[in-house]
A and B are shown apart, each in its own frame.
Chain A
Amino acid sequence: MAERPAHATVPSPRTAGSSSVLELVGPSPKLLLGSAVTGLLVLLLFLAWGYQAKNGLGVAGINRPVFWGFYIVNFVFWIGVSHAGTLISAILRVTGAQWRRPLTRCAEAITVFALMIGGLFPLIHMGRPWLFYRMLPLPDYRELWPNFRSPLQWDLVAIFTYLTGSILYLALPLIPDLALLRDRYAGQHPVLARLYRTLALGWRGTHRQWRALDWGIRILAVAIIPVAVSVHSIVSWDFAMTRVPGWKSTIFAPYFVVGAIYSGIAMLLFTMALLRRGLRLERVLTDGVFDKLGLLFVAMSMLWVYFTFSEHLTTWYGGDVAEARVHHELFHGPLSPAFWTMVVVNAIIPLAVLPFRRGRRPLPIALVSLGVVVGMWLERLLIVVPSLSVPRLAYTVGSYAPSPVEIAITVGAVGLFAFLYFGFVQLFPIVSAWEVREGEVEEEEHAREVLAAEEPA
């Protein structure tokens, strides 16, 4: 392993234990307050869901013809956000981008939590969530299988695969850090020590273990990229496989993947800015990291604008009556303010701010990111609702307004995401200690080599 001189310098994880990143682990008043506030939102989520389960889905604002509403919007949105981590961090790992080191962990955690929440929404959305197991291919005395022709079934397979993969992808690079924590908490805190000891899987930092870890991360990083792409393609097929005007579109799969990465990077940048400020991580999450990720962000922004433009241009030009009604609904219907807001926060602002170096500094980029996160949520809303509200037979035209229950669950889901994140930050190093250290060691080695090369001259 020529590219890992860190082994020589760090024969045992203990020597790297000095890394300041590890000091961040553990509760602080600020973080505990965050957990408490977001915990209340989690309570709100489950109370609202319980109320809905008891009384029926009628407590939501959905109706005929708008059979799908906020829950599916949230589902698509959170699955999209989940592309922050695994995909971005995998691409950066595979390409060997050095500036990835401080942000991979933060991104991978977003993926896992966003996926959990995304995966929760189909259950919230279902009429009878307690019968969810019927979608699983369980042996059945009637020999009745789930319907593998249904895009929802593909969704189930894709999301479970992606969730499994991204949990592994989060856990694997965490092992050396967990070993450091295990050593730190040994004999101090019985519960935590036991937790870290269990999760560290007996890591000792031997050469063989490093080799295995290195290969494991590499294989996962390569394997997870097609999985991530397939997940959002399949989510798009929940729409594109139907005959609903405005949904039936050949470019939906790549369009959704681009939108997912776009919203994922936005969520990642926003989270990074909060972590940097909240945990005083300026030395690790440097301006340079924001600048580099900002370049990727602006590229995704342009791609998203391109896809959105192509999607609407072709259907508008074609002039199909049913499609034209959807367009009219988008541009002039009750949701048209959302459409124009989306254009401003997803296209105009990012493209006006991000191309400039000063626009990619942490504060401006965090604000732009927040706008994109909101804008991408609106985009999902604008995909789901307007198409459904103008069905082919004009007699059943409808409209949709969310009910308090749907709003509570939507807000509660944001709370759940933040709650999980606050918990993660307190239990695990949010910046990969060993990877950052490895980067430092590599830089030192490089500097020494340069010096050595210069000396004889």
Chain B
Amino acid sequence: MTRWGMVIDTDRCNGCGACVVACAAENNVPWVGEEQAAKGRVMHWLRLERYVEGDFPNVRVRFLPVLCQHCGAAPCEPVCPVYATYHNEEGLNAMVYSRCIGTRFCGNNCPYTVRTFNWFDPEWPEPLDRQLNPEVSRRPAGVMEKCTFCIQRIHEARDRAAGEERELADGDVRPACAQSCPTRAIAFGDRDDPDSEVSRLAATDRAFRLLDDLGTDPAVTYLRGRALAPETGDGDG
């Protein structure tokens, strides 16, 4: 059985933001404009958190791309009264948009605050409206949404592999964020396959998971940064 997972190397991430843009383009994430963004209504499924480490002059900025962690024990799932968010058999924390009635309980209970809500009907200013992805449904006002691990790409890769009469291989599925990352900081694959890239990376001693002590069992693993410049000697993690 496949169990999808992601590994993000914080040492490689330079905060360019290509993943955020690629995600929005791939998944028809609505554009909200400055005014709404200032009110905390940005719809991005992936955000770059910026942390400054060390004291001047030995400072270093680190970036943490935060997206839905597809928790194994997801706090958002049990609180939804209508099963609009549920766990699928491949470890994805899936959303059924058409089922959602918009109680926003899942958004409150997500410790990572990665769920977004459609406060208005979505809009895309010219020319963004011409590049909507036909593989991804548009979400109406009143519906919660969040990162899906590009489930449409998983389906497509599986279909292609089936057409070629072979098993799905490691690297067949690449979410938009991973594909667009110029430093290859994001790896995606099957956590149940011990030889997959994600399994190998997640087994290193740099691996950590966000807010792991909450027991949410996230499917996203981060690789902590190696030490800073030798003269400071600190900043590990």
Contact = CB atoms under 8 A, between A and B. Distances in A.
A149 B76 CA distance: 12
A151 B79 contact: yes
Interface in A129-185: 129, 131-132, 134-135, 144-147, 149-153, 156
Contact of A395 (B47, B115, B117): B47
Nearest to A244: B108
B116 interface: yes
A292 interface: no
Contact of B121 (A56, A66, A132, A396): A56
B79 A242 contact: yes
Contact of B143 (A122, A127, A238): A127
Contacts of A149: 78-79
A152 B81 contact: yes
A236 to B, nearest CB: 14
Interface residues on B, range: 35 or more
B104 to A, nearest CB: 4
A134 to B, nearest CB: 5
Nearest to A247: B108
Given A128-B101, A391-B111, A147 B211 contact: no
Contacts of B103: 122, 125-127, 152
A254 interface: no
A128 B141 CA distance: 8
Interface in B115-172: 115-121, 140-144
A153 B143 CA distance: 18
Interface string A389-418: 001110110110000000000000000000
A67 interface: yes
Given A126-B101, A242-B109, A56 B83 contact: no
B102 to A, nearest CB: 2
B113 A242 contact: no
A128 B49 contact: no
Contacts of B36: 58
B209 to A, nearest CB: 13
Interface in B80-101: 80-83, 99-101
B230 interface: no
Contact of A147 (B39, B42, B82, B112): B82
Given A135-B81, A147-B83, A127 B102 contact: yes
Contacts of A370: none
Contacts of A391: 111, 113
B105 interface: yes
Given A56-B141, A67-B104, A126-B103, 18 more contacts: A56-B121, A58-B119, A64-B41, A64-B113, A64-B115, A67-B107, A125-B103, A127-B103, A144-B83, A147-B83, A150-B80, A153-B81, A242-B105, A392-B112, A393-B66, A395-B66, A396-B113, A398-B40
A385 to B, nearest CB: 11
Contacts of A56: 118-121, 141-142
Contact of A128 (B40, B66, B142): B142
20 contacts: A58-B141, A64-B115, A65-B113, A66-B40, A67-B108, A68-B104, A68-B108, A126-B101, A127-B104, A128-B140, A135-B81, A135-B101, A147-B78, A147-B82, A151-B105, A152-B81, A241-B79, A242-B109, A243-B111, A393-B49
A64 B118 CA distance: 11
B113 A128 contact: no
Contacts of B237: none
A12 interface: no
Nearest to A131: B101
B81 A127 contact: no
B75 A395 contact: no
Contacts of A336: none
Residue of B75, B119, B120 with most partner-chain A CB within 10 A: B119
A56 to B, nearest CB: 4
Contacts of A127: 100-104, 117-118, 141-144
Interface residues on A, range: 35 or more
B214 interface: yes
Interface string B173-193: 000000000000000000000
Given A63-B39, A391-B113, A392-B211, A150 B118 contact: no
A300 interface: no
A188 interface: no
Contact of B119 (A57, A238, A392): A57
A134 B79 contact: no
Nearest to A135: B81
A104 B119 CA distance: 44
A122 to B, nearest CB: 8
Contacts of B40: 63-66, 398-399
Contacts of B101: 126-129, 131-132, 134-135
Nearest to B99: A134
A314 interface: no
Contacts of A244: 108-109
A55 interface: yes
A135 B82 CA distance: 6
Residue of A127, A134, A144, A149 with most partner-chain B CB within 10 A: A127
Contacts of B144: 127
A152 B105 contact: yes
A144 B144 CA distance: 19
A68 B41 CA distance: 14
Interface string B65-83: 0100000000100111111
Interface in A264-316: none
A58 B83 contact: no
Given A126-B102, A147-B83, A64 B78 contact: no
